[in-house]
Amino acid sequence: MKINPNKCVACGNCTYVCPMNAIYIDPAMNRATIDRDECVECYSCFNGLSQEHLNPSLVRGIRKVLSVLKVRFDPEPDVCPTAAFEPDELSWPRVVRRAFSDPSVPHESTGVEGRGTEEVKTNDVTGRVKVGEVGFTIEFGRPGVGVRFREIQEMCWTLAKANVSFEKRNPITSLMTDVPTGTLRSDILAEKVMSAIVEIKVPVERTEEVIRLVWDVEKQLDTVVALGVATRCEEDGEETVVLPILERLGYKPQRAKTNIGLGRLVTLEASGQAAAEVNGNAAAEVNGKMAVGAGAKTA
Ligand code: SF4
Ligand code: SF4
């Protein structure tokens, strides 16, 4: 994103809408300026402010005259009065910033907007986490904080050494040049994004080991990390394996979400799968195919 200095009248409105605090009024130029290294190309400034088309010279002139009279002339807080924002033609690798930061842009690798993954919210349709497995979403960054891929790289290397399975339908996995070692493309490591999610899964017996690994690595990272844990309910709808581990590690179950599996019947593929399961004499298992997601923050 760029601000055209010939148009900007330094009203300061945009400095309040940038979630990364990347816009400031340069005192030397008296123009709003974007710190390009901190900007994650989220487009909140361009899309969040109404772009008016007032004449910059006229607005500057009025502001100057009124300031002499000790009167302020400020535009409404939700407008850029002179339409000074000019989106860049983003090329690789900068374009990954927008993909992970502008929620209106779908990821090329998955077709999903925002962080580019459905996580286990659609587990009833996708079956990412199967019986006997535990899935993890490891979320990096937040508005105001962000994350660079080199921080994510540290986590991926550690997880890969522990022989976890990275989710294929995830945009971070698609940016790996070597999935078995968890190695990301080297040309994106310095790029900063608003947030990103790594998804892995392991056999349920390894739940505590993986959580402790994430704890160890996150202490070394210059960002915030939130951990989500997902597992399948038993046939009676209860979950008695993973939840006690989470509680022992200090997590509270109140934040858990339960996917009751209604989605399985709304697509042809899901309907076919459900019918096959019933025909395969697994009616009881159909009831047991529920996923539990425990949104457990670690930082
Ligand atoms: S809102 Fe527009 S005119 Fe005002 S400081 Fe920002 S870029 Fe400049
Ligand atoms: S694109 Fe987003 S991060 Fe960049 S300056 Fe605009 S609001 Fe800030």
Residue 207 banded pLDDT, cuts 50, 70, 90: very high
Matching residue, tokens 């202490």? 219
Distance CA 235, CA 259 (A): 14
Matching residue, tokens 């910033």? 97
pLDDT in tens, 170-187: 999 999 999 999 999 999
CATH number attached to the domain at 2-86: 3.30.70.20
Closest by CA position to 244, among listed 253, 235, 236: 253
Asked whether the predicted pLDDT for residue 69 surpasses 80, the reply is no
With a 6 Å cutoff on the Cβ, whether 20 touches ligand 1 is: no
Average confidence score pLDDT of the chain: 84
Distance CA 45, CA 37 (A): 16
Between 261 and 125, where is the model more confident?
125
Question: For residue 285, what pLDDT is reported?
Answer: 31
Average pLDDT over residues 122-146: 90
With a 6 Å cutoff on the Cβ, whether 11 touches ligand 1 is: yes
Q: Where are the domains of the chain?
A: 2-86, 112-297
Distance CA 285, CA 155 (A): 35
Q: What distance in angstroms lies between residue 9's CA and the mean position of ligand 1's atoms?
A: 6
Asked whether the predicted pLDDT for residue 90 surpasses 70, the reply is yes
Question: For residue 156, what pLDDT is reported?
Answer: 98
Q: What number of CA atoms fall less than 13 Å from residue 151's CA on the CB side? A: 24
What is the position in ligand 2's atom list of the atom closest to the CA of 21? 8
Distance CA 150, CA 196 (A): 12
Residue 264 banded pLDDT, cuts 50, 70, 90: low
Residues with CB under 6 A from ligand 2: 1, 18, 20, 22-23, 34, 39-45
Question: For residue 121, what pLDDT is reported?
Answer: 76
Question: For residue 190, what pLDDT is reported?
Answer: 98
pLDDT in tens, 187-200: 999 999 999 999 99
Q: Ligand 1 atom 3: the closest Cα is on which residue?
A: 8
Lowest mean pLDDT among 77-86, 158-167, 279-288: 279-288
Q: Ligand 2 atom 7: the closest Cα is on which residue?
A: 18
Ligand that lies nearest to the alpha carbon of residue 76, given by its number in the listed order: 1
Query: The dihedral of CA 184, 34, 139, 218: what is its sign?
Result: positive
Asked whether the predicted pLDDT for residue 299 surpasses 60, the reply is no
Distance CA 61, CA 50 (A): 22
Average pLDDT over residues 17-41: 96
